[in-house]
Structure 1
Amino acid sequence: MFPFKKKYLKFYRPRKVNKLTICGLLRVRNEELILQDTLDHLSEFCDGLICYDDASTDKTFEILMSHQSVVEVIQNLKWLAEPTQRIERETLDRKTLLDRAEFYKPSWLFYADADERFFGNIKDFLFSAEALKVDGIRIQLFDAYITLDDQAPFCQGKQLKNFRTFFGPERRDILMIWRNSDNFRYEGLDAREPKYDLKMNIITKFYCQHYGKSLSIDHWEETCQYYINHFPFVPYGKKWTERQGKAIHRSSDFGRPLYQWGEDLFSNSVRIHP
């Protein structure tokens, strides 16, 4: 484990809350462009949000501290940029969020990334009788793409949900919601999802638009450079090196046709994770 002293972390509680039923977890770095909309969006599903600011250099921290749904902010003051450090921090920072959530005694945890937008009656379901038999939920995530006729950049102050027209059919079913339990834990390297015991009842439900590849052409190039510079070359850097200069798409990154959001996309989906 790379040394990372707690002196680099500061903990803030801008709002005093002692109990959350659905606790949102969010880890961000330099997300000023979309963050206000992200926090507003997640507030539709969560009673409160715990956020980890990974050494942002823009106004991310200020936006987090001022939002009415953010109950705690963990501010990391030391950016670890080396590839071997980054893949470790991807897991450990999320573990820090999960550990901090215990203070609020939540019934459910909901981990999201800033560039994701969700569809479905998530909150109603978690309070339903059907959810009593469920331990975790995988949400079906689809990548949004910049296309020739839809390449205007996202502008701050707009709503990100439904911002792009076309999506790739590749579907990642990602464990994003789980019951508060010791059976869910963050382990290993570059872990977006927690590990869990096989006895857990995990279902797949709801949909997610992912905008990590499609905020703007400039953002696409910045994303390429981020993975090239800060993650191991194999597999990350190699893949993103090949994607440089290819922000505008006629097909998905996997060579499949693009679909508008809706039933045609869902019925033609190809699950690539897990």
Structure 2
Amino acid sequence: MSGTSSWQLRDGEQIIVCNRGLVGHRHFLIGITRVRNEALILRDALDYVGKHVDAIIAYDDASTDRTLEILGGHPKVARIVTNRSWEADIEARRIAERRHRGILLQTAREQLQFDWTFCFDPDERVTGDLRGYVERTHSSVYDGVRVQLFDAYMTRGDDAPYRADCELLHFRRFFGPEQRDILMLWRNRSGVAFANGREPVGVERVATSLYCQHYGKSLSVEHWEETCDYYMRHFPFDTYGRKWRDRKGRAIHTQSDFMRPLYEWGDTLFANAVKM
């Protein structure tokens, strides 16, 4: 699918207008995100990302908690695409997520004028001066930025559950050295589109910089168990389900899920990074 192809909203999907003042003038950097039942961490995520971006477009995938309310009440959220029916089938889930990302990017282009896109998940915190880095990149030859992501882990004595009134950035002490470079930032050009997976296609000149703390494995013991069950039920067993089945009951870590030492956030972690 090209960047100019059109995604059609389906029955049960609609666009909710939030902050009209964010429309009608050009933005430098906007954020896009897909969410479902993220009420626990969403307000902190929007506050944190909102410090760097001018506006946010969100896709809410049939949340049953306060996610939609939190999105609608945040001053940086311009539009929300809502979906009333969640698709649980494994193959249909994969197709739906690709489609949702396509709708997100299309809606952003239809509703806002902007130069750069930041695609984020609520359980991620990019550290450092994200906006300043993109401003410097804007005058360079690069059209995208891969951000270096590391998983945070719960360890003995650092396993208290996350609370909604806390900041998620630096919430955990230890991180695994496994580094995933994810295309999170790109210049808004017509050839950029979502074809499969989280990253768009059509971004040709890409830098690798910035760091990201990922908390998908470390919000709480209860959340860890729910994550294991989610991957077992809704992802192919051979590629995801089996390893997450084996992780059940093992929320507290002494090493990473890949049998490597854990490190505190900083230069020692980055020096021992293992690209995945």
Pick the aligned partner of 1:225 from 205, 208, 229: 229
More displaced, 81-90 or 212-221?
81-90
Q: Which amino acid aligns with 2:29?
A: I
Cα 1:129/1:60, change in 2 over 3 Å: closer
The alignment status of 1:112 with 2:120, answered yes or no, reads: yes
Q: Distance in 2 between matches of 1:120 and 1:204?
A: 14
Q: Which residue of 1 aligns with 2:198?
A: 192
Q: Distance in 1 between matches of 2:190 and 2:39?
A: 33
The alignment status of 1:89 with 2:96, answered yes or no, reads: yes
The alignment status of 1:79 with 2:79, answered yes or no, reads: no
Q: Distance in 2 between matches of 1:140 and 1:129?
A: 16
Measure how far apart 1:8 and its partner are.
Answer: 1.4
Measure how far apart 1:206 and its partner are.
Answer: 0.4
Measure how far apart 1:41 and its partner are.
Answer: 0.6
Checking the alignment, whether the CA contact within 8 Å between 1:37 and 1:160 is kept in structure 2 is yes
More displaced, 164-173 or 88-97?
88-97
SS across alignment from 2:147? strand
The alignment status of 1:58 with 2:62, answered yes or no, reads: no
Q: Which residue of 1 aligns with 2:107?
A: 100
Pick the aligned partner of 2:250 from 246, 250, 259: 246
Q: Which residue of 1 aligns with 2:4?
A: none
Measure how far apart 1:126 and its partner are.
Answer: 2.1
Q: Which residue of 1 aligns with 2:48?
A: 41
Q: Which residue of 1 aligns with 2:3?
A: none
Measure how far apart 1:85 and its partner are.
Answer: 1.1
Measure how far apart 1:5 and its partner are.
Answer: 6.1
Q: Which residue of 2 aligns with 1:263?
A: 267
The alignment status of 1:23 with 2:30, answered yes or no, reads: yes
Q: Distance in 2 between matches of 1:5 and 1:209?
A: 33
Q: Distance in 2 between matches of 1:233 and 1:93?
A: 23
Q: Distance in 1 between matches of 2:202 and 2:246?
A: 34
Measure how far apart 1:224 and its partner are.
Answer: 0.5
Q: What's the % identity of the aligned pairs?
A: 46
CA distances 1:144-195 after superposition (whole Å, capped 9, x unpaired): 001112110001111000000000000000000000012321113xx01112
Q: Distance in 1 between matches of 2:152 and 2:19?
A: 34
Cα 1:261/1:131, change in 2 over 3 Å: farther
Measure how far apart 1:130 and its partner are.
Answer: 6.2
Q: Distance in 2 between matches of 1:234 and 1:268?
A: 29
CA distances 1:192-242 after superposition (whole Å, capped 9, x unpaired): 111225xx2100010000000000000000000111111121211111111
Checking the alignment, whether the CA contact within 8 Å between 1:125 and 1:131 is kept in structure 2 is no
Checking the alignment, whether the CA contact within 8 Å between 1:83 and 1:231 is kept in structure 2 is yes
Measure how far apart 1:132 and its partner are.
Answer: 3.1
Q: Which residue of 1 aligns with 2:5?
A: none
Q: Distance in 2 between matches of 1:12 and 1:20?
A: 20
More displaced, 259-268 or 101-110?
101-110
Cα 1:166/1:42, change in 2 over 3 Å: same
Pick the aligned partner of 1:181 from 180, 185, 189: 189
Deviating above 6 A after TM superposition, structure 1's stretches of 4 or more consecutive aligned residues are none
Pick the aligned partner of 2:176 from 147, 161, 168: 168
Measure how far apart 1:128 and its partner are.
Answer: 2.6
Where do residues 125-136 of structure 1 align in structure 2 (5 Å cutoff)?
A: 125-128=133-136, 131-136=139-144
More displaced, 91-100 or 120-129?
120-129
Q: Which residue of 1 aligns with 2:76?
A: 69
Q: Which residue of 1 aligns with 2:165?
A: 157
Q: Distance in 2 between matches of 1:174 and 1:156?
A: 26
Q: Distance in 1 between matches of 2:66 and 2:29?
A: 26
Q: Distance in 1 between matches of 2:34 and 2:11?
A: 19
Q: Which consecutive residues of structure 1, in runs of 5 or more, have no partner in the other structure?
A: none
